[in-house]
């Protein structure tokens, strides 16, 4: 009877150790998947209050996107970054609030560039023309 009991305990411990190891491997795989999603989606990487994010569009209007380089201070590279974020039109930039500007500067890691180069004011001037 003692031999049977010891075999049962041995197998229960073996299965428990195997289950813990399998759980460890599954957890490790899930962690890697989560890391990949942070690398794929830059919005998940960046801190900041989502409520301060400026109004974005999924696609430009049917008339096409605006040339954001018309705003002095926005170069081709920054225009591509803004387009990737969902900012295609000068009107979108003209409607940014202080909190939106802070969010954009934090998201793109451009300290005070939007304010110093007066993107919002220049966008409003372009719209008035």
Q: Residue 35: what pLDDT?
A: 56
| pLDDT top residue among 43 and 118 | 118
Same domain for 75 and 19: no
d(CA 14, CA 78): 58
Residue 45, domain member (yes or no): no
Question: Could you report the per-residue pLDDT of 48-100, keeping only the tens digit for each?
Answer: 667 778 888 888 889 999 999 999 999 999 999 999 999 999 999 999 999 99
Asked if 79 and 115 sit in the same domain, the reply is yes
- How would DSSP label each residue in 11-51? HHHHHHHHHHHHHHHHHHHHHHHHHHHHHH-HHHHS-S-GG
User: pTM score, two decimals?
Assistant: 0.61
Residues 103 and 81: their CA atoms lie apart, in Å, by 14
Question: Can you give the residue range of the structural domain that contains 16?
Answer: 2-40
Residue 69 sits in the same domain as residue 109: yes
- State the pLDDT confidence band at 121, using cuts at 50, 70 and 90: very high
Same domain flag for 9 and 59: no
Distance of CA 121 to CAs 60, 67, 93, Å?
22, 16, 9
pLDDT at 106: 86
Mean pLDDT of 106-127: 92
């Amino acid at each position: 009877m003692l031999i049977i009991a010891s075999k049962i305990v041995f197998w229960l411990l073996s299965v428990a150790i195997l289950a813990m190891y399998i759980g460890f491997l599954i957890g490790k795989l899930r962690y890697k998947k989560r890391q990949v999603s942070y690398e794929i989606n830059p919005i998940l990487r960046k801190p900041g209050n989502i409520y301060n994010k400026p109004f974005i569009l999924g696609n430009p209007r049917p008339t096409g996107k605006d040339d954001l380089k018309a705003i002095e201070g926005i170069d081709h590279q920054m225009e591509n970054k803004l387009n990737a974020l969902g900012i295609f039109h000068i009107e979108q930039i003209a409607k940014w609030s202080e909190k939106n500007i802070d969010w954009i500067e934090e998201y793109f890691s451009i300290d005070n560039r939007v304010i110093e180069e007066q993107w919002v004011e220049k966008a409003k001037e372009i719209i008035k023309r």
